[in-house]
Amino acid sequence: MTEATLVKELRDKTGAGFMDCKKALANSDNNIEKAIIFLREKGLASASKKAGREANEGRVLAYIHGEGKIGVLIEVNCETDFVARTDEFQEFVRNVAMHIAAANPRYLNKEAVPAKDIESEQSIFRKQAEDSGKKGPVIDKIIEGKINKFFEENCLVNQRYVRDPDQTIENLVKSQVAKLGENISIKRYERYQLGESTKAE
Protein backbone atom coordinates (compact mmCIF):
# COMPACT_ATOMS: atom_id res chain seq x y z
CA MET A 1 0.00 0.00 0.00
CA THR A 2 1.45 3.37 -1.02
CA GLU A 3 2.08 6.22 1.41
CA ALA A 4 -0.64 8.32 -0.24
CA THR A 5 -3.17 5.48 0.20
CA LEU A 6 -2.22 5.04 3.85
CA VAL A 7 -2.51 8.76 4.51
CA LYS A 8 -5.93 8.89 2.85
CA GLU A 9 -7.19 5.91 4.87
CA LEU A 10 -5.92 7.44 8.11
CA ARG A 11 -7.48 10.82 7.31
CA ASP A 12 -10.81 9.16 6.48
CA LYS A 13 -10.77 7.29 9.80
CA THR A 14 -9.66 10.17 12.03
CA GLY A 15 -10.40 13.47 10.30
CA ALA A 16 -6.86 14.59 11.15
CA GLY A 17 -4.89 16.87 8.84
CA PHE A 18 -2.63 15.66 6.02
CA MET A 19 0.68 16.51 7.71
CA ASP A 20 -0.53 15.14 11.06
CA CYS A 21 -1.35 11.82 9.37
CA LYS A 22 2.03 11.68 7.62
CA LYS A 23 3.78 12.28 10.94
CA ALA A 24 1.63 9.68 12.73
CA LEU A 25 2.44 7.05 10.09
CA ALA A 26 6.14 7.89 10.23
CA ASN A 27 6.06 7.41 14.00
CA SER A 28 4.14 4.15 13.69
CA ASP A 29 6.05 2.31 10.95
CA ASN A 30 3.07 2.83 8.61
CA ASN A 31 0.80 0.82 10.92
CA ILE A 32 -2.72 2.32 10.67
CA GLU A 33 -3.92 1.17 14.10
CA LYS A 34 -0.79 2.48 15.84
CA ALA A 35 -1.09 5.75 13.90
CA ILE A 36 -4.70 6.17 15.09
CA ILE A 37 -3.54 5.70 18.69
CA PHE A 38 -0.75 8.24 18.10
CA LEU A 39 -3.25 10.82 16.80
CA ARG A 40 -5.65 10.20 19.67
CA GLU A 41 -2.85 10.70 22.17
CA LYS A 42 -2.07 14.01 20.48
CA GLY A 43 -5.75 14.99 20.54
CA LEU A 44 -5.99 15.06 16.75
CA ALA A 45 -8.46 12.24 16.13
CA SER A 46 -11.47 13.38 18.11
CA ALA A 47 -13.21 15.61 15.57
CA SER A 48 -16.02 13.15 14.87
CA LYS A 49 -16.97 12.98 18.56
CA LYS A 50 -17.38 16.75 18.72
CA ALA A 51 -19.34 17.07 15.48
CA GLY A 52 -22.73 16.58 17.15
CA ARG A 53 -22.30 19.28 19.77
CA GLU A 54 -24.10 22.60 19.35
CA ALA A 55 -22.10 25.51 17.98
CA ASN A 56 -23.92 28.78 18.68
CA GLU A 57 -20.97 31.15 19.07
CA GLY A 58 -18.46 32.18 16.44
CA ARG A 59 -17.67 35.07 14.15
CA VAL A 60 -19.02 36.89 11.11
CA LEU A 61 -16.14 38.16 9.01
CA ALA A 62 -15.99 40.45 5.99
CA TYR A 63 -13.04 39.77 3.71
CA ILE A 64 -12.07 42.02 0.78
CA HIS A 65 -9.79 40.67 -1.95
CA GLY A 66 -8.13 42.01 -5.09
CA GLU A 67 -8.12 45.74 -4.26
CA GLY A 68 -11.85 45.78 -3.67
CA LYS A 69 -12.84 43.59 -6.64
CA ILE A 70 -14.12 40.63 -4.58
CA GLY A 71 -15.78 40.56 -1.16
CA VAL A 72 -16.80 37.63 1.05
CA LEU A 73 -19.12 37.72 4.05
CA ILE A 74 -18.94 34.52 6.09
CA GLU A 75 -20.33 33.13 9.37
CA VAL A 76 -18.43 30.33 11.10
CA ASN A 77 -19.72 28.88 14.37
CA CYS A 78 -18.01 27.31 17.39
CA GLU A 79 -19.23 26.38 20.88
CA THR A 80 -17.85 29.18 23.04
CA ASP A 81 -16.99 32.85 22.70
CA PHE A 82 -13.64 32.03 24.31
CA VAL A 83 -12.62 29.97 21.26
CA ALA A 84 -14.24 32.49 18.88
CA ARG A 85 -11.88 35.16 20.23
CA THR A 86 -8.70 33.11 19.74
CA ASP A 87 -6.24 34.03 17.00
CA GLU A 88 -6.37 30.45 15.70
CA PHE A 89 -10.14 30.52 15.14
CA GLN A 90 -10.14 33.96 13.56
CA GLU A 91 -7.27 33.00 11.25
CA PHE A 92 -9.22 29.88 10.24
CA VAL A 93 -12.32 31.96 9.40
CA ARG A 94 -10.18 34.34 7.35
CA ASN A 95 -8.52 31.45 5.50
CA VAL A 96 -11.90 29.98 4.56
CA ALA A 97 -13.05 33.42 3.36
CA MET A 98 -9.87 33.71 1.25
CA HIS A 99 -10.59 30.28 -0.23
CA ILE A 100 -14.15 31.33 -1.12
CA ALA A 101 -12.83 34.47 -2.81
CA ALA A 102 -10.40 32.40 -4.89
CA ALA A 103 -12.43 29.23 -5.60
CA ASN A 104 -15.93 30.75 -5.91
CA PRO A 105 -17.96 27.76 -4.63
CA ARG A 106 -21.58 27.81 -5.79
CA TYR A 107 -22.96 25.95 -2.76
CA LEU A 108 -22.01 25.33 0.88
CA ASN A 109 -22.42 21.53 0.71
CA LYS A 110 -24.19 18.75 -1.22
CA GLU A 111 -27.40 19.29 0.75
CA ALA A 112 -27.51 22.90 -0.44
CA VAL A 113 -27.55 21.95 -4.13
CA PRO A 114 -31.12 22.31 -5.48
CA ALA A 115 -32.58 19.10 -6.91
CA LYS A 116 -33.19 20.84 -10.24
CA ASP A 117 -29.48 21.66 -10.54
CA ILE A 118 -28.51 18.03 -9.93
CA GLU A 119 -31.13 16.83 -12.42
CA SER A 120 -29.84 19.31 -15.01
CA GLU A 121 -26.25 18.10 -14.58
CA GLN A 122 -27.34 14.44 -14.72
CA SER A 123 -29.22 15.11 -17.95
CA ILE A 124 -26.13 16.70 -19.53
CA PHE A 125 -23.87 13.84 -18.37
CA ARG A 126 -26.35 11.22 -19.65
CA LYS A 127 -26.48 12.87 -23.09
CA GLN A 128 -22.67 13.02 -23.22
CA ALA A 129 -22.40 9.32 -22.30
CA GLU A 130 -25.04 8.27 -24.81
CA ASP A 131 -23.41 10.31 -27.57
CA SER A 132 -20.11 8.55 -26.89
CA GLY A 133 -21.77 5.16 -27.41
CA LYS A 134 -22.04 4.04 -23.78
CA LYS A 135 -25.04 1.92 -22.73
CA GLY A 136 -26.99 0.66 -19.68
CA PRO A 137 -25.31 0.42 -16.26
CA VAL A 138 -22.11 1.95 -17.64
CA ILE A 139 -23.97 5.23 -18.19
CA ASP A 140 -25.24 5.25 -14.59
CA LYS A 141 -21.69 4.67 -13.32
CA ILE A 142 -20.37 7.52 -15.45
CA ILE A 143 -23.12 9.86 -14.23
CA GLU A 144 -22.40 8.97 -10.59
CA GLY A 145 -18.70 9.70 -11.03
CA LYS A 146 -19.35 13.01 -12.78
CA ILE A 147 -21.89 14.13 -10.17
CA ASN A 148 -19.34 13.43 -7.42
CA LYS A 149 -16.82 15.49 -9.40
CA PHE A 150 -19.45 18.24 -9.72
CA PHE A 151 -19.80 18.31 -5.90
CA GLU A 152 -16.02 18.43 -5.46
CA GLU A 153 -15.74 21.41 -7.78
CA ASN A 154 -18.82 23.39 -6.70
CA CYS A 155 -19.53 22.65 -2.99
CA LEU A 156 -17.37 24.57 -0.52
CA VAL A 157 -16.82 21.73 1.97
CA ASN A 158 -15.90 19.29 -0.82
CA GLN A 159 -13.47 21.61 -2.59
CA ARG A 160 -9.71 21.21 -2.37
CA TYR A 161 -8.30 23.91 -0.10
CA VAL A 162 -6.51 26.42 -2.35
CA ARG A 163 -3.57 26.77 0.06
CA ASP A 164 -3.20 22.99 0.51
CA PRO A 165 -4.80 20.96 -2.31
CA ASP A 166 -4.00 17.73 -0.44
CA GLN A 167 -6.94 18.41 1.87
CA THR A 168 -10.56 19.45 1.43
CA ILE A 169 -12.26 22.28 3.29
CA GLU A 170 -14.14 19.59 5.25
CA ASN A 171 -10.83 18.12 6.43
CA LEU A 172 -9.56 21.61 7.24
CA VAL A 173 -12.60 22.07 9.50
CA LYS A 174 -11.94 18.71 11.19
CA SER A 175 -8.33 19.63 11.87
CA GLN A 176 -9.49 22.85 13.55
CA VAL A 177 -11.99 20.90 15.65
CA ALA A 178 -9.13 18.69 16.82
CA LYS A 179 -6.85 21.66 17.56
CA LEU A 180 -9.39 23.88 19.31
CA GLY A 181 -11.39 21.15 21.05
CA GLU A 182 -14.83 22.38 19.97
CA ASN A 183 -17.32 21.65 17.24
CA ILE A 184 -16.83 24.10 14.38
CA SER A 185 -19.14 24.58 11.40
CA ILE A 186 -19.28 26.91 8.43
CA LYS A 187 -22.83 28.25 8.70
CA ARG A 188 -23.19 30.42 5.58
CA TYR A 189 -21.38 32.75 3.24
CA GLU A 190 -21.95 35.20 0.41
CA ARG A 191 -19.43 36.11 -2.27
CA TYR A 192 -19.58 39.39 -4.17
CA GLN A 193 -17.63 40.23 -7.32
CA LEU A 194 -17.50 43.69 -8.83
CA GLY A 195 -19.72 43.93 -11.89
CA GLU A 196 -21.64 40.70 -11.23
CA SER A 197 -25.42 40.72 -11.40
CA THR A 198 -27.25 40.05 -8.14
CA LYS A 199 -29.38 36.91 -7.71
CA ALA A 200 -32.54 39.00 -7.87
CA GLU A 201 -31.64 40.49 -11.28
pLDDT digits (tens, 9 = 90+) for 70-99: 999 999 999 889 999 999 999 999 999 999
- Judged by average pLDDT, the poorest of 4-18, 121-135, 152-166 is 4-18
| Domain 114-153, second-level architecture | Orthogonal Bundle (1.10)
Q: Which residues contact 103 (CB under 8 A, 6 or more apart)?
A: 156, 159, 162
| Chain segment 19-59, per-residue pLDDT in tens | 788 888 998 989 988 888 887 776 665 555 555 566 779 99
CATH class of 3-45: mainly alpha
| Residue 82: closest CA among 186, 190, 188, 181 | 181
Q: Delimit the domains of the chain by residue range.
A: 3-45, 49-109+155-193, 114-153
CATH superfamily of the 49-109+155-193 domain: Elongation factor Ts, dimerisation domain (3.30.479.20)
Task: Output phi, psi for 108, to 5 deg.
Answer: -70, -50
Cβ contact 158:48 at 8 Å: no
Give the pLDDT band (50/70/90) at residue 66. Answer: confident
